[in-house]
Chains A and B, each alone.
Chain A
Amino acid sequence: PNLEHPAYPAAALLRLESLVPCRESQVSMLLSIFGERQQFSFPSIFIYGHTSSGKTYVMQNLLKTLQLPHVFVNCVEYFTSQLLLEEILVQLQSCSSKPEQASHVRCNTSNDFVRLFKQAVVSQELQDQTVYIVLDRAEQLREMEANILPAFLRLQELTDRNVTVILLSEIVWELFRPSTGCFEPLTLYFPDYSIGHLQKILSQNHPPEYSADFYAAYINILLGVFYNVCRDLKELQHLAVLNFSKYCEPVVSGEANERDTRKLWKNIEPHLKKAMQTVYLREISSSQWERLQDDDGDPGQLKGLSAHTHVELPYYSKFLLIAAYLASYNPVRTDKRFFLKHHGKIRKTNFMKKHEKTSNHLLGPKPFPLDRLLAILYSIVDNRVAPTANIFTQITSLVTLQLLSVVGHNDQLDVPRYKCTVSLDFIRAIAR
């Protein structure tokens, strides 16, 4: 038992410990900050760490097992400050023991929020406990009104109630700090899980039909294949479940027993490698993958998403796109040389200046005006092109297809400028 705290029952702590493996030090740190129920805690805590390092999971389990009054809100989901504040109030109303129907309140500003929050705390009889407000994906707060983040940081002071705000984010605090300055929260870092941690956590949830050792061996193989490319716990777990039935196949058919790791490894390894190229990249969906496993099909039949790169375009759209590409990647000066029949002599010596040696492809596409696009189009198409409305609508439809993009304002009718956004490979495929 690593977790010890006089304020909380030992059984709950033990359960908590089993729920959050490999995060004992962080949890005990948090517990010591929280103190006892009635004690005032630090006003705001900022927890950061990489994707799936267990921030949300640890906080949820911690607050739930210890039965601390808390509110858990995801800032992506409640995308405006009004929604966010109202959601906090609603959750607060329902978090006490009595299941009273939460009445809807309107709350537009942080001023209202402070007032309503005080009321809610009183009505729920939470004055003598610390209320925790957890804001997940707190980086979204920066995009709301400027006063929201500072207000949350010193909510304890503003409301004069026992409340602690916990911000969870994937980015460091330095990127949050507003220019006007604010209350500095206590920052806490959740480090990435090491490979040992991953092994331990993943093996914990073994299926009931098989022994823990058997599953652990499987996880070991899985990590051996995937650890180099993916350290996301969630993703690894997903992959583990997806491929486990394949791993068990020899055991089920009786070809090998559970201890025959070598044989099992030989069976699963190519399969996992294939999975890395397909499912992991979401080239084919996991349900398709499962079906493939079930009927032992060859994944080669199922073409992934990137296999369908070919785009069929109408004749003139192709030329328009090629013209746009040329206009984007060739400097204006060379137009005369490339597209005019009688372009005169090229002086080779000073044609290539030094800085132009870097390929234009490295610099990315440059914007070009509509006139230039059409001029190039007329010169690359063999027969005469009538400037009909059809041609112009095709330019717009190329823009909606995201093959071209408009530079500058959308409503600038005067001289619209475009950029070509497709790659050289795409153009090559079209030009064929």
Chain B
Amino acid sequence: FRETNNESGDSKLRLATCQSLWNQIKSETEQIQEDLNKQLFDNLVDFLRRSHLEFQEKTTKWNCQMKSREIPAAALVLGVNVTDHDLTFRSFSEVLRNNVTRYIALLEAKDCPDVKNLMQKLMGQLMNCYIEVDSLEDEDSVQVSQNRIRCSMTSLINWYESVTKTTDSETPSKKRASSSRLWLSPPVVVIFRDMESFTTKVLQDFIVISSQHIHELPLVLIFGIATSPMIIHSLLPYSVSSLLCIELFQSLSCKEHLSSIIEKLLLTNQFPFKLGEKALQVLINIFLYHDFSVQNFIKGFQFCMVEHFYTQPLSVLCCQLVDAKKRVNSLSHDQCENVRKLPSFRRYVEAQVSEKQIALLTEDSVLKEIVQKLLEDMDVYHENYISVLRCLHVFTSSLPKYPLGKQIRELHCACLENQVWETEEYESSLQLARMLNKSDLVTMLQQCVEILVSSSGNEFDKAVEKLKEFLTQFQKLEEAFQERDVSVSSQKELQKKTDLYHLQKTLLELKESRRSKKLTKFEMLRLEVVDYIDSLVRKYLVPADHKTLHEIVYFNTASVLRGHLNAAPRIALHTALNNPYYYLKNQALKCDGGSISNKAPDICIVYKLHLECGRLINLVDWLEAFSTVVMSAEGPNADAASSDQVDDVVHARFIRAVSELELLGFIKPSKQKTDHVARLTWGSC
């Protein structure tokens, strides 16, 4: 932020705006996550509570005695987006700590190559968490004893007994409140974060060991599973899995998670910052094509925001409307000039009459007024846009084959990209909408009415009225329909007396006439409805970049985003070696495509030369070519001396460059021919 060429006050303001906005968004996303996970966590907490009821009550019923005690285990299927799991587990253990038990150990496969390490880790975590809770105890003594402690189940049980006993014997007044929530002998929860990566032996041994002591230690296992629960069966043999009492819990799929995030972040008017079509597309593509990670999506979103506030000086105005208006008033002259430079604003100015054009371009106060008005327009536009988008989504999401996409995000992208009503997909979806049956149409209309009523924009009164009118018309139509049915049936009764052939004929005629007649009426109404929706779309779903001043709130430089988020090491390496100017910014290195400059670093020369070779490269030829290129730099005065003999220095430089290339993995020594190296890459990249 400091490097921008504006005065410091402005950039500070931008920084502050950005940070406060990000904090808002962050808390919002966390809230969403919490809500989404709530169901899952509730179920899990329930399960944990239930799992050791028997241990609690110490029942002596016949069937409890007879049943072999299984270790309660929860299989938690979380989906393949491993990067998100961290957060989930963290919030989960938080929930557990507050509601069920404070004895939680979170184990990762990389920490537990064998049972010994697993036990050490487990005991370390459990005992530490005990210390955390009541820090009355002398930390030092515990620290020392922990090193000496024998990492076996027996010592764990002893520890557990002592812990629960001390909790019991402590002053009731202090513990009363908490013990209603945490009961006397809370279960010990062991979470295996990534079940797939654990070696089978470790898991099996641990389960066998703990099953021996399940009577003394109320253990609950939670397996975090990324792929499918089948992994349990493939990891554990029957003799081990029969010791477990596994229940399955499935988290929400990450796609749904993303949809809700998009819904809450992008399709509201709550946050002034918006993503343009291309940027959003890049983020969604990364999500769908690569990692399925919601965390990364949010990070990408954050990056967009920071980039936007950093590069766009006018992003000061990217805040809530009330603040924005105030800030417009205090805009400096430079900032006004910036506004005038915006392409969308220029388009706006050109559309005005000439006097006004001059006023806008010369007087700051006029400009400010207009900017305020435009910002207001923008706000209203967003509000309407979202509502109408949802309405349109109601229609398109139920069409066969989903010409405009199933998810609202696809529709959103389509609308942002260009005028949606000009696309083929829109045309085809309207055509399909004209073929909808009545009940669907009615329910859709009702949904639309709900959406429009709930939106805060007040422009929709008329639209709502219109839609309601349609609904009543449909109702009337239905009534008429029924009435006619009755009359027709009476007609039929009358005709029953004629002979069979005639009856058939007349009935057929009747049917046809009835169908055509009624359908025309219904069809007309349907056409009207679709046309009306079409008009709504045309009015409100104008793409954002047609709006004046959209640059202030929209971030749309997808190339920057792509460059930062889609790391391409091979391509970067190629550019660095092929075109060193790109990174070094040294004027001497600036060259035109094909030729090999001798001022470039040695490795670049070697690299370029090797691009011209086949799979096997003759080192002598390569050296020859290298020295030719290098020598041409030295000028014509030196060439006579070293025409036949390669200079030692050049030779050394060459060897160093080649070994550097080998280090980078472009070549390797070949055993097929001496004096040759093999290329490991193909083509010219």
Binding site for B on A (CB under 8 A): 51, 74, 76-80, 83, 86-87, 104, 205, 207-209, 232, 234-235, 237-238, 240-242, 244-245, 282, 284-288, 303, 305-306, 308-317, 386-394, 397, 400-403
Contact = CB atoms under 8 A, between A and B. Distances in A.
Contact of A387 (B72, B242, B568): B568
A309 B291 contact: no
Contact of B67 (A238, A317, A391, A401): A238
Contacts of A237: 66-68
The 9 closest A-B pairs by CB, nearest first: A389-B567, A305-B229, A390-B290, A315-B289, A285-B245, A207-B62, A402-B196, A388-B568, A241-B67
B229 A394 contact: no
Given A80-B116, A314-B292, A241 B66 contact: yes
A407 B150 CA distance: 36
A356 B576 CA distance: 47
Contacts of B567: 388-390
A404 B247 CA distance: 27
B560 to A, nearest CB: 16
A303 B246 CA distance: 12
Residue from B75, B289, B570 having most chain A Cβ neighbours under 10 A? B289
Nearest to B205: A76
A288 B247 contact: yes
B153 A77 contact: yes
Given A77-B209, A306-B233, A402 B116 contact: no
B229 A235 contact: no
Given A309-B228, A312-B292, A241 B197 contact: no
B580 to A, nearest CB: 21
A282 B70 CA distance: 11
A178 B184 CA distance: 50
Contact of B79 (A240, A288, A312, A397): A312
Interface string B230-262: 111100000101101111101001110000000
Residue from B62, B231, B571 having most chain A Cβ neighbours under 10 A? B62
A87 B245 contact: no
B229 A308 contact: yes
Contacts of A209: 62
Contacts of B250: 308
Nearest to A313: B80
Given A76-B205, A244-B63, A288-B247, A306 B229 contact: yes
Nearest to A52: B239
B80 A282 contact: no
A386 B152 contact: no
30 contacts: A74-B209, A76-B209, A77-B152, A78-B152, A83-B150, A83-B151, A237-B66, A237-B68, A240-B66, A245-B63, A282-B233, A282-B241, A282-B242, A285-B73, A287-B51, A287-B245, A305-B233, A308-B228, A308-B230, A309-B230, A311-B228, A312-B80, A314-B288, A314-B290, A314-B292, A315-B290, A386-B568, A388-B566, A389-B566, A389-B567
Contacts of A286: 67, 70, 245
A387 B570 contact: yes
B212 interface: yes
Given A77-B152, A287-B247, A388-B568, A238 B68 contact: yes
Contact of A205 (B66, B242, B286): B66
Given A285-B70, A314-B80, A389-B569, 13 more contacts: A79-B116, A80-B116, A104-B150, A241-B63, A282-B244, A287-B50, A287-B245, A306-B230, A312-B253, A314-B291, A315-B290, A387-B571, A401-B196
Given A78-B152, A285-B247, A402 B77 contact: no
A158 to B, nearest CB: 25
Contacts of A389: 566-569
B208 interface: yes
A284 B247 CA distance: 7
Contact of B566 (A74, A104, A390, A397): A390
B44 to A, nearest CB: 14
A431 B630 CA distance: 53
A401 B226 contact: yes
- Counting chain B residues whose Cβ lies within 8 A of the other chain, the interface size class is 35 or more
B4 interface: no
Contacts of B233: 282, 305-306
A74 B568 contact: no
Given A77-B209, A400-B197, A83 B80 contact: no
Contacts of B288: 314-315
Contact of A312 (B50, B255, B570): B255
B194 interface: yes
B82 A397 contact: yes
Contacts of B229: 305-306, 308
Interface string B257-293: 0000000000000000000000000000011111110
A121 to B, nearest CB: 22
Nearest to A314: B292
B154 interface: yes
Contacts of B292: 312-314
A401 B80 contact: yes
B175 to A, nearest CB: 29
Contacts of B179: none
Given A207-B62, A305-B248, A403 B82 contact: no
A390 B291 contact: yes
Interface string B635-669: 00000000000000000000000000000000000
Contacts of B245: 285-287
Contacts of B477: none
Contacts of A305: 75, 229-230, 232-233, 246, 248
A244 B66 CA distance: 12
Interface in B167-208: 194, 196-197, 205, 208
A181 to B, nearest CB: 28
A305 B246 CA distance: 9
B656 to A, nearest CB: 21
Nearest to A375: B682
B8 interface: no
Nearest to A51: B239
B115 interface: yes
Contacts of B232: 305
A244 B70 CA distance: 18
B513 interface: no
Interface string B139-165: 000000000001111100000000000
Contacts of B254: 312
Residue from B151, B245, B290 having most chain A Cβ neighbours under 10 A? B290
Contact of B68 (A208, A234, A310): A234
Contact of B228 (A208, A310, A315): A310
A238 B250 CA distance: 27
B287 to A, nearest CB: 8
Contacts of B72: 285, 287
B247 A402 contact: no
Contacts of B570: 387
A405 to B, nearest CB: 11
Contacts of B154: 87
B437 interface: no
Given A76-B209, A390-B567, A308 B248 contact: yes
B43 interface: no
B286 A311 contact: no
B6 interface: no
B227 interface: yes
Contacts of A312: 79-80, 253-255, 292
Contacts of B228: 308-311
Given A308-B250, A390-B567, A401-B80, A79 B66 contact: no
B152 A402 contact: no
Interface in B54-91: 62-63, 66-68, 70, 72-73, 75, 77, 79-80, 82
Contacts of B242: 232, 235, 282
A78 B154 CA distance: 10
A390 B63 contact: no
Contacts of A311: 80, 227-228
